[in-house]
A and B are shown apart, each in its own frame.
Chain A
Amino acid sequence: MDSRKKILDQIKANKPQPLPSPAEERFDARYADLAETFGEMVNTAGGVAVLTSTWSDIKSHLFATFGQLTNRATTIPFLADWADFSLNVSDPHELEMINVAVIEADFGVAENGAVWVSEKHLTHRVLPFIAQYLAVVIPKHALVDTMHDAYERVNIQDTGWGCFIAGPSKTADIEQSLVIGAHGARGLTVFLLDEQPNPAL
């Protein structure tokens, strides 16, 4: 039995008359202040947005917020001395111990506070989910208005896996009460890095 052929034949026989591709129409929602809207939406999604101007600020913030936690991991070289957990492992199950992970993301989406995280910036796909807390750094100028703009910016075929992440893991499956921290990260901090151009360059 060749189900593939059977299914495709039946679809061919039963499908309606071919329609033309829908007309291209742009949805150009534009926000007055991208960073402000983005930050608000990160908060709405249960996360915390932090505007910073230097990597050192980020490091101090991380020490202040997660200083008492052990098993801190990062993929960002500048933060290597803040971390105490090496991501240099081959089996992703070993990441189960991680309390806080700090990673980079390509860009953020103002309309919903999501950041695009992909394999490009990760050692393991499971890292943003398995860590108890997650922090993500994006350049402040790397913001787009809507999801339409997001898909113009990212080519999803460039990476084996990528994810829009909006806020920490959550559920409302018990009487519609919102609880943060279902299976993924219990908290999400998004740093918007407003780096001043380096005068040396």
Chain B
Amino acid sequence: MKPTELDHAGASEVFNQDEPYVNWHDETLWFVRQKRDKAAFKLPEWEALRERASQIKSYGLSHMDELLEEFERNAIRNGIQVHWAADAAEHNQIVLELLRKHQITHMVKSKSMLTEECHLNEYLTGNGIEVIDTDLGERIVQLRQEPPSHIVLPAIHLKKKDIGDLFHEHLGTEAGATDPQYLTEAARQHLREKFLTRRAALTGVNFAIAETGGFVVCTNEGNADMGAHLADVHIASMGFEKIIPKAKDLGVFLRLLARSATGQSVTTYSSHFQRPRQDRDSKPQEMHIIIVDNGRSTQLGRADFRNSLKCIRCGACMNTCPVYRRSGGHSYHNAVAGPIGSILAPNLDMRKHADLPFASTLCGSCSNVCPVKIDIHDQLYKWRQVLAKEGHVPASKNMGMKVMTTVLSRPRFYQWSGKVGRAVMRALPATVSNSLNPWYKQREMPQPPTESFREWYLRNRKK
């Protein structure tokens, strides 16, 4: 992973130097958002589904220990071996020990944001284990030695020319070739050889079901299944918040997940693992599940932020976020980027991630699309308060922050300052559009309206 020294604002500035590229990035993600809308609007019960998903997850948070114990009991009954990891280091150790026990030095891995969070690849590589990411987008960023820039679309920041060049260098495709069909075929051949020769496969977990002791993994490519069904050892890593109470809850979540993520009505493969595989004439496969905390139980105790644990990692909040779309996933210097990443990250390390809750306009679009109705933008706002109190507010934000807090906490003052602000903008556009105003960068300040919404509303309401 390339460590980035820059904070979000600094990294966004670099990202914004190439305007046509930023516009392309912005439009590509907006296009995904629009596909989500089309899929959602087709279901009249969409809002009821979101509400139900949110309630199931809230119920889950409030019964988390019982559900985890129920899951463990049932998983063990199914022949799955259950491990518990308090933090990233312990998770990584468990994986390494399992591989060493079987003398395995090569492993395939399908998408798992948790292993990104734990920096598993670096750890295993440092211990002499080769890890191949098998999701196409993840393989691309792995070959580039960079982290995914999006939880669902890991290589969304790259143009096909970048990928063509990369594959030419690593997979021997023709120089200058950029046809996605051709490049995907090359990756298919390259990865098929890995699937066929690796004895261990690690997958993520989308949903773990307390009632059955099984888990569900969703992919479009089929890479999780190709890996797991050919391997002697299947390791599934999950943050404990992936638990849902009942099998029928999957009906709700699978209807929401893909529609929110890419606008598909369901992912191509929704794979339900219940028991280890038993091939004829051979030992049963070993199936392991690692339940990871890594700060989650702390977040569960923060009343203002615990709802972030309801996330099903659909990526919709990123696709819709005006800041994410115009700053790119890498500017968030965290495994999970975008609005949700910005409320998860400070829980792990407030100082390191103090800039992230400020990487938002608080427009609320994220909360509007979130399939489990997390109050994302409210939490971003609340993190700002916490960070300010703890003295972690980045210097550049501090001044404006203080003024904003004063302004927003006093409605009368807000009305007045708006009026003054508009007058100043009309009279002296340069004062606002100068380099001291961070909003001016890469953007023309809008024409100020002659009256505020509030003035307009009061005038028209009387009519």
In the bound complex, residues from chain A placing their C-beta under 8 Å from that of B59 are 19-22
CB <8 Å contact, B271 and A173 = no
Interface string of A99-113 (1 = CB under 8 A from B): 000000000010111
| In the complex with contacts A90-B282, A183-B134, A12-B274 CB distance below 8 A | no
| In the complex with contacts A4-B84, A129-B222, A91-B279 CB distance below 8 A | yes
In the bound complex, residues from chain B placing their C-beta under 8 Å from that of A167 are 268
Q: Chain B CB within 10 Å — which of A1, A130, A159, A163 has the most? A: A163
Complex partner residue of A14 from B225, B280, B298, CB under 8 angstroms:
B298
Interface string of B243-270 (1 = CB under 8 A from A): 0010110111011000000101111111
A8 at the interface (CB under 8 A from B): yes
CB <8 Å contact, B134 and A173 = no
Q: Interface of chain A, helix or strand or loop or mixed?
A: loop
Complex partner residue of B180 from A16, A44, A130, A175, CB under 8 angstroms:
A175
A143 at the interface (CB under 8 A from B): no
B195 at the interface (CB under 8 A from A): yes
| In the complex with contacts A147-B250, A184-B268, A18-B180 CB distance below 8 A | no
CB <8 Å contact, B160 and A146 = no
Nearest B residue to A160 by beta-carbon distance? Answer: B275
Within the complex, what minimum Cβ distance (angstroms) separates B90 from chain A?
6
Complex partner residue of B222 from A13, A18, A41, A182, CB under 8 angstroms:
A182
**In whole angstroms, how far apart are the Cα atoms of A179 and B56 in the complex?**
35
B230 at the interface (CB under 8 A from A): yes
CB <8 Å contact, A171 and B278 = no
CB <8 Å contact, A125 and B229 = yes
Within the complex, what minimum Cβ distance (angstroms) separates A11 from chain B?
5
Interface-lining segment among B62-70, B376-384, B388-396, B406-414: B62-70
Complex partner residue of B274 from A25, A161, A165, CB under 8 angstroms:
A161
Complex partner residue of B275 from A93, A161, A169, A173, CB under 8 angstroms:
A161
CB <8 Å contact, B226 and A7 = no
Within the complex, what minimum Cβ distance (angstroms) separates B301 from chain A?
3
Nearest A residue to B85 by beta-carbon distance? Answer: A3
In the bound complex, residues from chain A placing their C-beta under 8 Å from that of B65 are 8, 11-12, 15
Complex partner residue of B225 from A18, A109, A163, A166, CB under 8 angstroms:
A163
Nearest A residue to B135 by beta-carbon distance? Answer: A173
CB <8 Å contact, B300 and A15 = yes
CB <8 Å contact, A182 and B184 = yes
CB <8 Å contact, B62 and A17 = yes
B86 at the interface (CB under 8 A from A): yes
Complex partner residue of B212 from A109, A157, A175, CB under 8 angstroms:
A157
A65 at the interface (CB under 8 A from B): no
In the bound complex, residues from chain B placing their C-beta under 8 Å from that of A27 are 45, 48-49
Interface string of B270-312 (1 = CB under 8 A from A): 1111111111111000000001010001101101001000000
Tell me which residues from 41 to 80 in chain A have a Cβ below 8 Å from any Cβ of chain B.
41, 44-45
Within the complex, what minimum Cβ distance (angstroms) separates A99 from chain B?
14
B95 at the interface (CB under 8 A from A): no
A201 at the interface (CB under 8 A from B): no
B contact residues, total (Cβ < 8 Å): 96
CB <8 Å contact, A41 and B62 = no
**In whole angstroms, how far apart are the Cα atoms of A12 and B67 in the complex?**
12
CB <8 Å contact, A171 and B196 = no
Complex partner residue of B279 from A92, A162, A176, A184, CB under 8 angstroms:
A92
Complex partner residue of A162 from B58, B90, B223, B274, CB under 8 angstroms:
B274
CB <8 Å contact, A14 and B300 = yes
In the bound complex, residues from chain A placing their C-beta under 8 Å from that of B282 are 90-91
| In the complex with contacts A92-B230, A160-B275, A161-B273, A184-B221 CB distance below 8 A | yes
**In whole angstroms, how far apart are the Cα atoms of A65 and B52 in the complex?**
44
In the bound complex, residues from chain B placing their C-beta under 8 Å from that of A44 are 265
CB <8 Å contact, A146 and B188 = no
Q: Chain A CB within 10 Å — which of B85, B156, B225 has the most? A: B225
B31 at the interface (CB under 8 A from A): yes
CB <8 Å contact, A183 and B188 = yes
CB <8 Å contact, A10 and B293 = yes
Q: Chain B CB within 10 Å — which of A20, A29, A113, A172 has the most? A: A172
Interface string of A168-193 (1 = CB under 8 A from B): 11111111110101111100000000
Q: Chain A CB within 10 Å — which of B49, B191, B277 has the most? A: B277
| In the complex with contacts A27-B45, A147-B251, A156-B247, A173-B136 CB distance below 8 A | yes
CB <8 Å contact, A173 and B155 = yes
CB <8 Å contact, B272 and A162 = yes
**In whole angstroms, how far apart are the Cα atoms of A74 and B156 in the complex?**
39
A135 at the interface (CB under 8 A from B): no
20 contacts between A and B (CB under 8 A): A7-B293, A8-B65, A11-B65, A15-B61, A15-B64, A16-B61, A16-B303, A22-B52, A90-B282, A125-B277, A129-B222, A129-B229, A156-B247, A166-B269, A168-B268, A174-B136, A174-B163, A175-B163, A176-B153, A184-B268
Q: Which 3 A-B pairs have the closest CB atoms?
A: A184-B222, A14-B301, A182-B221
